């Protein structure tokens, strides 16, 4: 993989991460309602899904997309419904708000598995991610002559580009949460996060 191709791929992934979508909205909602740590684990799930797409691209994601189109649709619906369920849970939790501890957390944060799974399902079912890895990803390198080293380089680029941008979103959202100190303000924040999470679920379900 040439330096030019690596830089071009890095720029494309930066743009992909910056564009608001289900993943961005889900990370921001989780970070606003439960803190930066929850957002970090959700970003980890998103990156894991990206790694899966990278490996599938090397194996021929275009052919897999044609033969397993129904599988991707099922994943998309599972992810969308899961996000809506989380939105409802956030709304209900707003009625039992506990102020954050000095470290910024609360005693009722989602589990690591829940946060990770949300990020994973959201990206696996996101048509934007599928389109990128099917249509644009092969343009940056020759998939027929790719090596293990090249795959590792691509994964590092993914972590720095997509992971860096999403962590920035998570940090900014968590700071908004920390600036609020009253239970009433936290209740409004939880409900706002619930609305954002619901929007991300609807957005994921509505994408073709």
Residue 157's pLDDT is: 93
Check residues 197 and 152 and name the one with the higher pLDDT: 152
Residue 47's pLDDT is: 95
**Domain ranges (residues) in the chain:** 23-96+110-206
Check residues 196 and 147 and name the one with the higher pLDDT: 147
Q: What is the percent of the chain where pLDDT is above 70?
A: 64
Residue 82's pLDDT is: 67
Residue 45's pLDDT is: 94
Q: Is the pLDDT of residue 18 over 70?
A: yes
Per-residue pLDDT of 140-175, as tens digits, reads 776 667 788 888 999 999 999 999 999 998 998 888
Per-residue pLDDT of 78-136, as tens digits, reads 766 766 776 777 677 656 555 444 444 444 677 889 889 989 988 887 777 777 777 67
Q: Is the pLDDT of residue 40 over 50?
A: yes
Q: Cβ distance 123 to 49 under 8 Å?
A: yes
pTM tops 0.85, yes or no: no
Among 13-27, 66-80, 124-138, the least confident range: 66-80
Residue 166's pLDDT is: 94
Q: Please give the C-alpha separations between residue 91 and each of 18, 57, 146, 182, in angstroms, as whole numbers.
A: 27, 38, 47, 17
DSSP letters spanning the chain? --HHHHHHHHHHHHHHHHS--HHHHHHHHHHHHH-HHHHHHHHHHHHHHHHHHHHHHHH-HHHHHHHTHHHHHHHHHHHHHHHHHHHHHHHHHGGG--PPPTTS--SSPPPHHHHHHHHHHHHHT-HHHHHIIIIIGGGGS-GGG--HHHHHHHHHHHIIIIIHHHHHHHHHHHHHHHT--SHHHHHHHHHHHHHHHHHHHHHHHH--
């Amino acid at each position: 993989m040439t330096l030019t191709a690596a830089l071009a791929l890095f720029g494309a992934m930066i743009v992909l991460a910056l564009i608001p979508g289900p993943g961005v909205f889900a990370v921001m909602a989780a970070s606003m309602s439960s803190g930066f740590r929850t957002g970090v684990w959700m970003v980890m799930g998103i990156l894991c899904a990206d790694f899966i797409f990278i490996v599938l691209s090397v194996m021929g994601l275009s052919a897999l997309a044609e033969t397993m189109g129904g599988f991707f649709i099922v994943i998309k619906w599972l992810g969308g419904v899961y996000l809506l369920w989380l939105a409802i849970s956030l709304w209900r939790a707003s009625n039992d708000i506990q102020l954050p501890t000095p470290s910024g957390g609360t005693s009722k944060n989602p589990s690591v598995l829940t946060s990770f799974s949300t990020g994973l399902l959201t990206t696996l079912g996101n048509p934007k991610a599928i389109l990128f890895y099917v249509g644009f990803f092969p343009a940056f390198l020759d998939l027929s002559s790719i090596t293990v080293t090249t795959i590792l380089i691509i994964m590092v680029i993914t972590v720095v580009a997509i992971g860096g941008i999403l962590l920035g979103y998570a940090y900014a959202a968590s700071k908004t949460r920390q600036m609020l100190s009253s239970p009433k303000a936290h209740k409004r924040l939880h409900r706002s996060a619930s609305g954002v999470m619901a929007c991300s679920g609807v957005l994921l379900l509505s994408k073709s």
